[in-house]
């Protein structure tokens, strides 16, 4: 099994675990962790698509531009993943803040109990 196939299988497992946690787990914190699994699975799939067995898309000294352009990995997916990591960090902070507020109000993090009380 080559590196890309193993990476695609890992990203698929992360996405499946994340989807299971989001839809079938009752705890809010576990749902947040499942969302992180889902996001990391998508990021890994994007990196794997852009990698394509080439060098890292960073211009190093001593490498001519023609060689760099010919042999570097596709940089758009790397830029998308970096943007997604920043957005995920912000969303994680907001979700954890909301979960703290929910726990203070309802004294539990079970989503079935929280949804019944409103």
CA gap 32, 96 in Å, rounded? 8
Can you give the pLDDT of all 118 residues of the chain as single tens digits? 788 899 999 999 999 999 999 999 999 999 999 999 999 999 999 999 888 777 777 777 887 888 887 888 888 888 899 999 999 999 999 999 999 999 999 999 999 999 886 6
Question: Hey, where are the domains in the chain?
Answer: 3-115
The DSSP bridge partners found for residue 27 are: 110
CATH of domain 3-115: 1.10.287.3510
CA gap 20, 24 in Å, rounded? 6
pLDDT of residue 102: 94
CA-nearest of 75, 29, 80 to 52 is: 75
- pTM score of the predicted model: 0.82
pLDDT of residue 118: 60
Q: Please list, in sequence order, all residues whose beta carbon lies within 8 angstroms of the beta carbon of residue 82, skipping any fewer than 6 positions away.
A: none
């Amino acid at each position: 099994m080559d590196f890309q196939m193993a990476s695609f299988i890992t990203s698929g497992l992360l996405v499946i675990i994340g989807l299971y946690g989001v839809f079938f787990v009752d705890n809010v914190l576990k749902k947040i962790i499942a969302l992180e699994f889902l996001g990391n699975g998508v990021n890994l799939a994007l990196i794997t698509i852009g990698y394509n067995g080439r060098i890292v898309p960073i211009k190093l000294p001593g490498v001519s531009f023609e060689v760099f352009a010919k042999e570097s990995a596709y940089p758009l997916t790397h830029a998308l993943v970096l943007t997604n990591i920043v957005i995920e960090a912000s969303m994680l902070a907001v979700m954890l803040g909301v979960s703290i507020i929910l726990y203070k109000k309802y004294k539990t993090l079970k989503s079935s109990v929280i949804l019944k009380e409103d």
